[in-house]
Structure 1
Amino acid sequence: MADENMRPIVVKRIKKVAGGHHGGAWKIAYADFVTAMMAFFLLMWLLGSTAKGDLNGISEYFSTPLKVAMAGGTGSGDSSSVIKGGGADLTRRNGQVKKGDIDPTSKTYNLEAAKAQVARAEAERLESLKQKIESVIEVNPLLKKYKNQLLLDITSEGLRIQIVDEQNRPMFALAKAELQPYTKDILNVIGMVLNEVPNKIGLSGHTDATPYFSDAGYSNWELSADRANASRRELVKGGLGDDKVLRVTGVASAVALDRKDPFNPINRRISIIVMNKRTEEAVQRDAAALEVPAQQAEAAAQDASAAAGGH
């Protein structure tokens, strides 16, 4: 009895394990496989249904994509595409340089014909300006009184407006650069009209051959230049833009209007040139600043400094 009480008790516990769970990773792999197969069959369908020209366009685009997209030129393209060389119509073999169809053949331009056309247009504009000034002279009672002293003609430099002296009606005070009141009125009206055209203006003063000298060496050359500059100031006062004046010169009696009689009062005049494009470019080219290399300028400055110190 005692032996039965001392016998150990063994408890057996059975652990039941359910079937193993593999998770959902196989679903993701299967979905990727189905997607890849779908893309493959879609690609095969597109290749089978695409025309030969489309295939060539696709092949050419992927062979040189940067050249076609950035520079245009040879390559598939469509004029409706914003990107050069791109577009929905891949049957086009030539890339698009700009929006719209262009003639692939090269175009040549006749430069001389273009220049001649510009010259004709400018000549017509100057002729129109001449007629306008003449009509202003006819309408304006003040200018009509001095009609005989206003000479207008077209020269190789442009439209020339000359205001000349008469025997009893000089433009300036005797041997001075002081404008007469009626001369100021004429220049004021002319300045207002000339400001309406884009052309640059040149002025030159003229005297007759009567000798004129002063103790200070003041001669007809200085007098003609001062009269031209006085006329410039009056034109600006009348409304002419100061930046439109490109040249002011005094030529004394060197260019006489009446060559047979150099003492004729008509030789005393102010000449206003409404320059054409060719004359304007020539004046600006001749007046261009000469660029001196920095080394030469520095050497010249050192030589001048040394000469000043030695002196």
Structure 2
Amino acid sequence: MDNNQPIIVKRVKRYAAGHHGGSWKIAFADFATAMMAFFLVLWLLSSATPEQKKAISGYFQDPVGFSESASPYVIDLGGTPTPAPDKTLSPEAKDARAVDDTQTDVEPVDAAQVETLAEQIERERLELLLQELQNKVNENPQLQRFKDQILFEITQDGLRIQIMDAANRPMFDLGSARLQPYFEDILLAMADTIKAVPNKISVSGHTDAKPFVGRGDFGNWELSAERANAARRTLVAGSYPDEQVARVVGYASSALFDRQDPLNPVNRRIDIIVLTKKAQRAIEGEQDAEPAGAEPTVPAAGQAAPAVPAEEGAPLQPPQLREKLNIFEDGTLKLDEPGGQ
């Protein structure tokens, strides 16, 4: 008691008989599995042909592009063994066999199918562009006020955008090609969106049927062409590439929107067509086809119209199901026009 020596207690753990832990079993199982896989790989390599070894080597060197130099399947599981090379064949015979194998694997490509597929992809691209333009009109408060004057339509020549006059909202000054500020805003918004696709465009101007009275031999043909060119200049000012403009043309009153009322303000309009490749080639003279931008048959009053207005939330529908909407308000403002519009 006086020495204050520490007392050490030693406890010994005793296990039940026959129990020595199980961790070694897991380690041994992993080792046995690895050895089995190793010997399996050795056996496969010893029984593989040189062509099969080349395929395996190509796969591990470039798993994505190895099929360019060998078979797209590393191991043939189809039940048909790969024939070993016949050493008795002459080099010419081997080359002939290789040519025959290549010809049997390649299927002929139908040019018509390729053209159809390209047109389908292009149409889907134009439909997405149409939806994006509609969304831009619906989301832009500045453009929403004029959405009843903007019509979109997918035609055989491409996506057609029609911007029309209203009785109390003309796009140009009376009898001139000077743009109203709101019309410039519409064109600038369009330019920012349609330049995202590689397709070229066609710009056309239209007037109503009222004869132009004024400067000598200057008439509706000249006026419609000048207005189309003024629209082109505004698009280019909005960063649209000038080399992407395939054609600028004036139609005067030769392609009226409302044939029942030739003096209807809707006949005064600017058409912008985002052309398909086929229509672009027709314009550039690469093939004999109907000129792109030619106006389709315009329905009479009460019939189905070919275009759909940029209404908010309006779903895309086939042209034959779209109904002509009375979207142009009956304005009380009457302009005493000295000439055609």
> How high is the TM-score relative to the length of structure 1?
0.62
CA distance in 2, matches of 1:150, 1:105: 53
* Higher RCO (C-alpha under 8 Å, 6+ residues apart): 2
What does residue 157 of structure 2 align with?
157
CA distance in 1, matches of 2:205, 2:262: 15
CA-based RMSD: 2.3
What pairs up with 1:87-98 in 2 under 5 angstroms?
94-95=97-98
What does residue 224 of structure 1 align with?
224
1:117 deviates by 1.4
1:269 deviates by 0.4
CA distance in 1, matches of 2:267, 2:126: 25
The count of residues paired between Structure 1 and Structure 2 equals: 205
Assess, with a 3 A threshold, how the Cα gap between structure 1 residues 95 and 208 changes in structure 2: closer, same or farther: same
Give the letter for the 1:241 counterpart. Answer: P
1:151 deviates by 0.6
Assess, with a 3 A threshold, how the Cα gap between structure 1 residues 246 and 52 changes in structure 2: closer, same or farther: closer
CA distance in 2, matches of 1:146, 1:159: 19
CA shift digits 1:165-200 (9 cap, x unpaired): 000000000000000001111101101111000111
1:278 deviates by 1.1
Whose helix fraction is larger, Structure 1's or Structure 2's? 1
| 1:208 and 2:208 aligned | yes
> How high is the TM-score relative to the length of structure 2?
0.57
Q: 5+ unaligned residues in a row in structure 1: which ranges?
A: 1-50, 61-74, 77-84, 86-92, 289-311
CA shift digits 1:76-125 (9 cap, x unpaired): 3xxxxxxxx5xxxxxxx62469xxx7453552222222221111111111
What pairs up with 1:181-196 in 2 under 5 angstroms?
181-196=181-196
CA distance in 2, matches of 1:56, 1:155: 61
1:285 deviates by 1.2
SS of match in other structure, 2:285:
helix
CA distance in 1, matches of 2:195, 2:239: 7
What does residue 170 of structure 2 align with?
170
Deviates more, 1:131-140 or 1:212-221: 212-221
> Structure 1 stretches (4+) deviating beyond 6 angstroms?
none
CA distance in 2, matches of 1:229, 1:237: 12
SS of match in other structure, 1:203:
strand
Contact 2:206 2:253 in 1 (8 A): yes
| 1:238 and 2:271 aligned | no
Give the letter for the 2:97 counterpart. Answer: N
What pairs up with 1:2-17 in 2 under 5 angstroms?
none
CA shift digits 1:233-265 (9 cap, x unpaired): 001111211110000000100000001000000
What does residue 28 of structure 1 align with?
none
Assess, with a 3 A threshold, how the Cα gap between structure 1 residues 52 and 104 changes in structure 2: closer, same or farther: closer
Assess, with a 3 A threshold, how the Cα gap between structure 1 residues 55 and 261 changes in structure 2: closer, same or farther: same
CA distance in 1, matches of 2:121, 2:215: 51
CA shift digits 1:14-40 (9 cap, x unpaired): xxxxxxxxxxxxxxxxxxxxxxxxxxx
What pairs up with 1:101-116 in 2 under 5 angstroms?
102=102, 104=104, 107-116=107-116
Assess, with a 3 A threshold, how the Cα gap between structure 1 residues 225 and 112 changes in structure 2: closer, same or farther: same
Assess, with a 3 A threshold, how the Cα gap between structure 1 residues 52 and 151 changes in structure 2: closer, same or farther: closer
1:56 deviates by 2.7
Contact 1:163 1:269 in 2 (8 A): yes
SS of match in other structure, 1:94:
helix
What does residue 54 of structure 1 align with?
87
CA distance in 2, matches of 1:106, 1:138: 50
SS of match in other structure, 2:186:
helix
Larger Rg: 1
Q: Give percent identity, aligned residues only.
A: 43
CA distance in 2, matches of 1:217, 1:286: 35
